[in-house]
Amino acid sequence: MLDQVARSNVVTLAEDKLYVLQNVLELDGRISAYPAAARGYAMSNLYLLKQPDAAVLIDTGYAAHEPVIRAQLQSLLPQGTPLSLFPLRLNEFMSINNIETLAARFNIEQCYTGNPDAAWWFDFGAVSDAGGSVLDKMKVTVVSRDEALPVGKLGDRIIDVFQAPVRLISTRWMYDRETKTLITSDMFTHVWRNKPEGPWFVSEADDPSSFQHVRSFLLNTRYWWIEGASTTPLRKAVNKVFETYDIETLAPGYGAIFRGRDQVEKQFKIFDEVLASLDKSLHTSRYVDRDEER
């Protein structure tokens, strides 16, 4: 537990508005979100959007981190604060593993998802074999593929939620108008570090992002299928996000966070160049074996 606490962190992205709850992931070949050969450390990032009357937690993290996540939340939220949960991927443990335990311990106002029957998906028996009873009481609020939602009841803070333009499974991205932050779940997760201490914000001096790094990262993780795909519609969808929103922080679900307009622009530019380079006009789509490293 002490080791877990030492390897966790709460970082303020905007005072009283936006926090990231971080827990270290050791890259030893056992983290599915990273290439099998990656070594070092990444972060599991949960984002807490806070208002005077309520808060929203984006993703709920892994069960191994639950005691720390609970402590992180308690350090930020006055007891009884209405808390909404928003898992960005309904099928993945990183997003939903702790919904049941948080529902048992916090004043959960609702859980946002794209599936009206989502409560069926969260019962891992973590609280007890009767865990379903906790989930039965939890309100589920269905969110469409493209929707603006208020944080709290004051109506002065809106988040835009939409389908991830490039995804492996059902995934939402989210834009927080107040802090100009784009939360991107499993995309832009390509910066890991040699030390658990980070740094977990990317600056120009320590940014490993390059065309080759991002290309290799995508092809060796969950975007193994992109080479030879028709990437024109994907590029259009990604560029639409970049052009629609005024983004100052790029906040992925794993790894380091990108801050500043220049960094954001750089990351989108590299991503676009990589997608363009992988298009079917330049590569023949072929069968890709599970263990092929590129």
Partner 1 sequence: MNDATTAAVVSKPKPTVEGHVPGSTLHRHNPLPREIAPDVYWLGECLEQRYKGVIYHSYNAAFLVIGNDASLLVETGHPKDFPHIERQLAQLLEGRAPLKYLFITHQETPHSGGLGRIMSRYPESVLCGDISDYHLVIPQYADRIRSMQRDEVIDLGGRGFQAVEPVIRDLRTSWWGFETRDRVLFPGDGFAYSHYHQDGHCGLFAEEAISLNLPDVSSTFADLALFWTKFADMERYVERLEWLLKKLDVKTIAPTHGLPIKDMDGTVKKVAEGLIWASKAPEAGIL
Question: In the window 111-130, what residues touch partner 1 (CB under 8 A)?
Answer: 112, 114-117, 119-126, 129
Say whether residue 76 binds partner 1 (CB under 8 A): no
Pairwise CA distance, residues 160 & 184, whole Å: 12
CA angle in degrees (0–180, nearest 5) for 284-33-70? 155
User: Do 220 and 290 touch, CB atoms closer than 8 A?
Assistant: no
Cβ atoms of 57 and 48 closer than 8 Å:
yes
Please tell me whether residue 210 binds partner 1 under the rule CB under 8 A: no
286 binds partner 1 (CB under 8 A): yes
- In this chain, which of 74, 210, 212, 244 binds partner 1, going by CB under 8 A? 244
Tell me: does residue 281 bind partner 1 (CB under 8 A): no
Instruction: Answer yes or no: are the C-beta atoms of 171 and 86 closer than 8 Å.
Output: no
Token readout for 14 is: 């905007």
Asked if 93 interacts with partner 1 (CB under 8 A), we say: yes
Structure tokens at 105: 């311990």
| Residue 11 binding partner 1, by CB under 8 A | no
**Contact region for partner 1 (CB under 8 A) — 45-53, 195-203, 248-256, 281-289?**
281-289
Rule CB under 8 A: say whether 6 interacts with partner 1: no
Asked whether position 139 contacts partner 1 by CB under 8 A, the answer is yes
CB 63 to partner 1: min, Å: 6
| Residue 132 backbone class (left: φ over 0; alpha: ψ -120 to 50; beta: rest) | alpha
**92/176 with CB nearer partner 1:** 92
Residues, the chain, total? 294
> Which residues in the 163-202 window bind partner 1 by CB under 8 A?
163, 167-170
